Amino acid sequence: MRSRVFLILFSMMCLVMTGCAQNGTGGENTDYEETKKMVVDILKTDDGKNAIKDVMADDGMKDQLIMDQQVVSDTLEKAVTSDNGKKFWEKAFEDPKFAAAYANSMKDEHERLIRDLTKDPQYRAMIIDILRDPSLQDEFKSLVKSKEMREMSKDTLIETMDSPLVKAKLADILLKAAEETPPKPSGGGQGQQGGGGQ
């Protein structure tokens, strides 16, 4: 099987080389386009596909691919952390469309990170310490009491109450409350009935 794989690959290489050589010297038998078409046709056959699969399954080829992936990772890391890379990202994030697309692509990872952090006792203790800081509490109180915050809270409440979902929920709650409340007996009607009996 292995010999068949290398035979097919060798024959493909020979075809490409002879085609290119003849094209460069003005040969009339086979030009570059015909050779390329022939190689593509060979690759589309079952033997060609199996040959590629066998080559990709080879341990030596896998090791080479893994090495190449490491080279790619190192190159990307250097490009991102370089001064030019930082400038590129700063400029890219100024574009709202790019920033939104990036945020959406990372949404799941960010949510997972936040969930993991909230389970981390060290992180939780740090957040509690920050919230207990008296200066932060004073700032929060002054912010809550500010005119802008009151206006924003009022607008938010009005928008929430105008929401069709909230209206439907409130209607359900009111209907349930009306059904659960027992009807009040009318005192006037009973008095008249009692008087009529005498």
Residue type, 115: R
Q: In terms of pTM, does the model score above 0.85? A: no
Q: Please give the radius of gyration of the chain, using alpha carbons only, rounded to the nearest integer.
A: 38
Quickly count: other Cβ atoms within 10 Å of residue 22's Cβ. 17
Q: Which residues contact 4 (CB under 8 A, 6 or more apart)?
A: 47, 51
Q: Under a CB-based contact definition with an 8 Å cutoff, are residues 47 and 3 in contact?
A: no
Per-residue pLDDT tens for 88-102? 878 887 888 887 888
More confident residue, 127 or 65: 127
Q: State the amino acid at position 158 in one-letter form.
A: I
Encode pLDDT of 118-165 as tens digits: 888 898 888 888 888 888 888 888 888 888 888 888 888 888 888 888
> What is the per-residue pLDDT for 83?
80
Query: What is the mean pLDDT of the segment spanning 66-83?
Result: 71
Confidence bin at 22 (pLDDT 50/70/90) = very low
Q: How far is CA 134 from CA 80, 139, 141, 159, 164, in A?
A: 40, 9, 10, 33, 41
Give the type of residue at 68.
Answer: D
Q: How far apart are CA 6 and CA 52, in angstroms?
A: 10
Question: In which region does residue 38 sit, left (phi positive, over 0), alpha (psi from -120 to 50) or beta (all else)?
Answer: alpha
SS3 category, 163: coil
pLDDT band at 23 (very low <50, low <70, confident <90, very high): very low
